[in-house]
Amino acid sequence: MSRKRVNPRLVKLHRSYSVSELAACLGVHKNTVRHWQNEGLTPIERARPLLFPGGAVREWLTNRNAGRKRPCPAGTLYCFRCREPRQPALGLVEYVPRNLTSGSVRAICATCETVMHRGARLASLAAILPGCDVQMAEAPTRLKGCSSPPLNCDLQRQTIK
């Protein structure tokens, strides 16, 4: 089951939350807050109703989210199937520009042969992918610049009454 990354900035620092209030604030189930308590989120006291200080909740969620990050070192892209930073197969990478300064880098994972993607600036390609053969691709055409109208046009059916 996939885990949802909760935004810790939704919690107010100087407020205490009950289990149901914290669940409603973060958009999770009450049992999720109780699981967090088993994982190390501590209430103010063990007496009912359980109250959690907002500052402690925000700090705990920030540390939990930071522990799940996987930064990619130079020369690697993140593979979603392997869930690890991997090197591209045969060192071949394709750069597809979005605008003049930035674009998307695509490559095939050397382990599982899945297509990997990463956003990158054109100026920093050499630092992100040292030793890789980067091929520049054309940007995809947009519908906005299309000279002919679409075929499902209803202009012929409109009649003036």
Q: pLDDT per residue over 5-63, tens digit each?
A: 788 999 999 999 999 999 999 999 999 999 999 999 989 988 888 999 999 999 999 99
Closest residue by Cα to residue 118 from 81, 76, 82, 70:
76
- In the predicted structure, residue 129 carries a pLDDT above the cut 90: no
Query: Would you put residue 27 in left (φ > 0), alpha (ψ -120 to 50) or beta?
Result: left
Rounded-to-integer distance, Cα 69 and Cα 137, Å: 30
Reported as a single tens digit per residue, the pLDDT across 63-110 is 988 877 777 888 888 888 888 888 888 888 888 888 888 888 888 888
| Cβ count near 153 (within 10 Å) | 8
Q: Where are the domains of the chain?
A: 8-67, 77-136
Q: What is the pTM of this model?
A: 0.55
**What residue has token string 């003049």?**
100
80, 72, 84: which is closest to 130 by C-alpha?
72
Cβ–Cβ under 8 Å, residues 60 and 36: yes
Beta strands 102-109; 115-121: pairing state:
antiparallel
Q: Which CATH architecture has domain 8-67?
A: Orthogonal Bundle (1.10)
Structure tokens at 73: 């070192």
